[in-house]
Amino acid sequence: MPKTYSLHAEPGRLSLAGGATTLTVVRYPDVLLKTARTFVKDGHHDIAVVVAHMAAEVAAERVMRAAFEKLSIPALAQPVFDLLSGYNLGNDRVRKLYAALTGDDINARKFWHDFKQSAERRNRVVHEGHRPKAGEAEQSIEAVQALLWHLDRRR
């Protein structure tokens, strides 16, 4: 007789019932952060910084999009996002939008200084060709990880 499984998913939660099956859910920002760690190990510190911040931007967009839904104004999400140049919370305009949508004064958080420094490092890498050392890349990954943990708790 075949086993029956039940899967229930909602934002922030996933459960699977039935049998001895293990389901592991890995979110895209986590995959990007893992990839950034691999780049550090391989000596590609500049790419590691950029990929870590890609993870931060993906997570920020998802939290802000969910906030539009929660505020019952989902139709405004895309027109507002079209006005932005990205989802970098290190950018004051993006951070202010995030704060307005979520009520989270993120720049007052303990990890914010490190994240802001990392965002500036990312900008130097992308726009000025800065070549960070391994320690700088690792600091960026840790700063982004702290941000991701914070954003996960906000969901």
Which residue carries 């802000």 as its tokens? 64
In tens, the pLDDT along 60-105 reads 999 999 999 999 999 999 999 999 999 999 999 999 999 999 999 9
| Nearest Cα to Cα of residue 142 among 22, 20, 68, 56 | 56
What span, in angstroms and rounded, lies between the C-alpha atoms of 44 and 137? 9
Q: Which tens digit of pLDDT belongs to each residue from 17-46?
A: 666 666 666 789 999 999 999 999 999 999
- What angle, 0 to 180 degrees and rounded to 10, lies between the N-to-C axes of helices 112-128 and 45-70? 120
Distance in angstroms (rounded) separating the CA atoms of residues 76 and 78: 6
Nearby residues of 143 by Cβ (< 8 Å), 6 or more positions away? 52, 111, 114, 115, 117, 118
pLDDT above 90 as % of the chain:
80
Place 153 in a pLDDT band, splitting at 50, 70 and 90.
Answer: confident
How does pLDDT run across 109-149, given as a tens digit for each residue?
999 999 999 999 999 999 999 999 999 999 999 999 999 99
Q: Crossing angle of helices 45-70/92-102, nearest 10°?
A: 40
Torsion, CA 52, CA 146, CA 79, CA 27, rounded to 10? 70
Residue pair 136/61 in contact by the 8 Å Cβ criterion: no
